[in-house]
Structure 1
Amino acid sequence: MIIKHLSEHKTFWFLTALGWTIFVAFLCLVNNNDLPSIGMKISGIDKVIHFLFHFIFTLLWSIYYFSKDKMLTPKRVIIIVIASLIFGVMIEWLQASFTLTRQADVLDVISNTGGAISSGLLVYHLLKKHFHSNT
């Protein structure tokens, strides 16, 4: 029921996934001093944020492709996960090459990878469950 409902709004999901991609790129490339601070430092919070960025990236693009094609294959999920990883590496390269207050961090790439793969596995599990319940 939920999966069928999600598939009816492909323009919404495309704009949401694209907006998320732009939002993540902006936050990762903007000057650190321009970002709001909550006044306390939590050790490792940036790694959690990177994980969530790519978890949501993979989830939103998966929902979009499901809404567009009315199906989502494991191969497509793998392609979306790989796209998330390439996007994350590209952001790290841009941080190292074109920003003054940011630097590339291999631990960010590892966090990105964890988020993308976790989301991909969740999507795959939901697809498997959905298609087995409809047969």
Structure 2
Amino acid sequence: MIHCFQVNRTKSLLVPKQFYFWTALSWTGIIVFFCLVKSSAIPVVRISNLDKIVHAFFHLVLTSLWFLFFKKHLNSSNIFKPLVAAFLISVFFGIGIEIAQELFTKTRKGDLLDVLANSSGTTLAICLLLFFNKYTNLNKV
């Protein structure tokens, strides 16, 4: 039987590299904005250590998005190069943001505990990506 409307599977038509790049870059910009804006412009919520949870979440998402970009960009069957690249970007970006807060803002201060929270989010992202790779196939991304 001939299938007249058979759809051939084409790789990467739906999610081009540019989408991953612009999504990761946009998220990076969001982090820069929220970390460098005047602290008085941010609503105050009285939850213990919420600041550290937000830092960890920011970097979990940041690492994941940059991983997706590098995975697509490097076009590698091995996930370790994209993981290392995303890890390094997130860690050094987190350190850079804290330095920028100390040097370029008057209402924000760099904090070593924020760097640790950033690194925790980055590490959690790497662990989740490794877990998903083990039980799914991230090589198809």
- TM-score bucket of the superposed structures, by smaller chain: 0.7 to 0.9
CA offsets per residue over residues 61-110 of structure 1, 9 Å max, x none?
A: 11112233444521320221121010000000010111111001111011
In structure 2, runs of 5+ residues without a counterpart are: 1-10
Shift of 1:124: 2.2
Q: How many residue pairs were aligned?
A: 129
Of 38, 43, 66 in structure 2, the residue corresponding to residue 61 of structure 1 is 66
Q: Which residue of 1 aligns with 2:124?
A: 118
The within-5 A match list for 1:88-107 is 88-107=94-113
CA drift at 1:13: 1.4
Match of 1:47 in 2: 52
Higher helix share: 1
User: What corresponds to 1:25 in structure 2?
Assistant: 32
Which is greater in Rg?
2
- In the alignment, what sits opposite 1:10? 17
What amino acid is aligned across from residue 68 of structure 2 in structure 1? I
Deviations along 1:40-69, whole A, 9 cap, x unmatched?
411100000000010000000111122334
Contact kept? 1:96, 1:104, Cα under 8 Å: yes
Q: What TM-score do you get using the length of structure 2 for normalisation?
A: 0.80
Deviation above 6 Å: which 4+ runs of structure 1?
4-7
The 3 A distance-change label for structure 1 pair 54 and 11 is: same
* Contact 2:56 2:119 (C-alpha < 8 Å) held by counterparts: yes
With over 3 angstroms needed to count, the CA separation of the structure-2 counterparts of 1:133 and 1:58, relative to structure 1, is closer
Give how far 1:131 is off. 4.4
Where does structure 1 lack aligned partners over 5 or more consecutive residues? none
- Give 1:5 shift: 7.1
Q: So what's the TM-score if we normalise by structure 1? A: 0.83
Amino acid corresponding to residue 70 of structure 2 in structure 1: Y
Q: Which residue of 1 aligns with 2:3?
A: none
1:59–1:119 Cα contact (<8 Å) kept: yes
Inter-partner Cα distance in structure 1 for 2:13 and 2:50: 31
% identical aligned pairs: 33
Distance (Å, rounded) in 1 between the aligned partners of 2:92 and 2:69? 19
2:114 alignment partner AA? D
Tell me by how many angstroms 1:19 deviates. 0.1
Task: Give the RMSD, CA atoms, in angstroms.
Answer: 2.5
